Structure 1
């Protein structure tokens, strides 16, 4: 059994990670670290785990743990690793943005590999540290990777993506408060979102001369999921574009290219990404949908864990969506 340690288990991504690992046939939770909730039952924070989880939060760590998941706020993972030592055999999977860019990938004698399995599965399998992709970045990259792989992004990329309120984290803010968010819609960080760096880094690794991306992130009045649309100049016949996407994702079990139009409930609570292609005149519209907490965070982290330890990447991730 793979023994897993979780740092920062009280938030949304930590809670999702606990839920997935509790039902993983090849992994067990060694500890869930929290300095503010040490000694408190995990089910007191994640109330849906009542009767399923008898673990408590702890303020001590096991430096010999097999895999360490960092579910800390952005900028805090590096600080934590600098203050704590772990065995060279311990695999590290960071869910923040601390190590996603190549310029930040080397830390403490480790080199963090960018953990998008649909881009570099082989590199992940050989790594000892993973930088888990961002949620928006995952949905948008999966929409565009097949085009970039063939050098077919020939125009500026225009992307709109709407996320649920859990994307803002568990700590309340003015724009995640129910009274503000309910029956409301807004954009934020127009054209400057922090995930642009990792998106451009990945696409540029496939297509050197990459046009500019205009990304408009939006807040939806739902709790979880990302609905992303990207459109670029179309250079192929519709059936050629379809074949291109089908071929690229044929060996990637969580990405499905749908002939029918797609909607968010198809992927909520799953590790799946659904993609739909629509051609209008000379424009290709790509729709990409994921659950921001699963494929966009904790599910993808477990997918990376599976690859690190030589397991089938779908192990423990055959999750049923909440369609109704």
Structure 2
């Protein structure tokens, strides 16, 4: 509703979008009560089109590397969004970004301490995303091929002893960038939120 009346909108970064899909349902209920650990891998298009050694195919192919560990620029966006929903959150967000050897997509694996059962956590996420046209909770394991070239975001929830384990996936160029921008534009201009976003096209 706030977006519908806005004159200016700043879309979050692609890593921030993917990671927030995993964390905001907990933040809204005040259930982020421990450090958060994130390992997320992005495709080469996350670096844009400018020439760089780390985006060159011959370097990227069959390769994997860590960059900006604990200091990625999207950490501030993630923290700000969490604080909006959970002002008392005061724990570390430990984020290890990785460059993957694929073109597009982001997979974020997140874990934290939680007293929720797996059933409670799944219900929380399902309820939070009910009515959201592009974000879905999957009880099965998820992989990037399910979201690449779409505006979808998928979240998978598991509980392992005292740890809540979350996997979130998006296409960094669509849900993480242009698709999200179109989705917001639709809201501003009173169009159906999903207008033009059910298509599955591929430029590269």
Q: 1:239 aligns with which of 97, 113, 119?
A: 119
Q: Provide the secondary structure at the position in 2 that maps to 1:292.
A: coil
Aligned to 2:37: 158
Inter-partner Cα distance in structure 1 for 2:193 and 2:133: 8
Aligned to 1:266: 146
* Structure 1 residue 234 displacement after superposition: 1.9
The two structures have a TM-score, normalised by structure 2, of 0.96
1:1-324 aligned within 5 A = 122-210=1-89, 211-320=91-200
Residues 72-93 of structure 1, C-alpha deviation per residue, up to 9 Å, x if partnerless? xxxxxxxxxxxxxxxxxxxxxx
**Alignment partners' CA distance in 2, 1:311 and 1:144:** 28
**After superposition, what is the alpha-carbon deviation per residue over 1:36-72, rounded to whole angstroms, capped at 9, x for unaligned?**
xxxxxxxxxxxxxxxxxxxxxxxxxxxxxxxxxxxxx
Does the residue aligned with 1:231 lie in a helix, a strand or coil? strand
Aligned-partner Cα distance in 2 for 1:235–1:254: 28
In structure 2, what is the equivalent of residue 37 of structure 1?
none
Between structure 1 and structure 2, the one with the greater Rg is: 1
Question: Would you identify which runs of 4 or more consecutive aligned residues in structure 1 move more than 6 Å?
Answer: none
8 Å Cα contact 1:267/1:321 also seen in 2: no
Q: CA deviation at 1:319?
A: 2.7
For 2:199 and 2:63, locate their aligned partners in 1 and report how far apart those are by CA, in whole Å.
30
Cα drift, residue 157 of structure 1: 0.3
Map Cα deviations across residues 203-237 of structure 1 (whole Å, 9 max, x no partner): 01111122210011100000000000110112111
Query: CA 1:273–1:321 in structure 2 vs 1: closer, same or farther (change >3 Å)?
Result: farther
Aligned-pair CA distance for 1:320: 3.0
Assess if the C-alpha contact under 8 Å between 1:273 and 1:295 holds in 2: yes
Q: Tell me the matched-pair count.
A: 201
Deviation at 1:321, TM superposition (A): 7.6
User: Partners in 2 of 1:319 and 1:289 — Cα distance?
Assistant: 19
Quote how far apart the aligned CAs of 1:275 are: 0.4
CA RMSD of superposed structures (Å)? 1.0
Counterpart CA distance in 2 for 1:321 and 1:156 is 39
Measured in 2, the distance between the counterparts of 1:219 and 1:132 equals 22
Distance 2:125 2:159 in 1: 14
SS in 2 for 1:193: coil
Higher relative contact order (CA 8 A, sep 6+): 2
Q: Secondary structure at the match of 2:9?
A: strand
* Matched position secondary structure for 1:140: helix
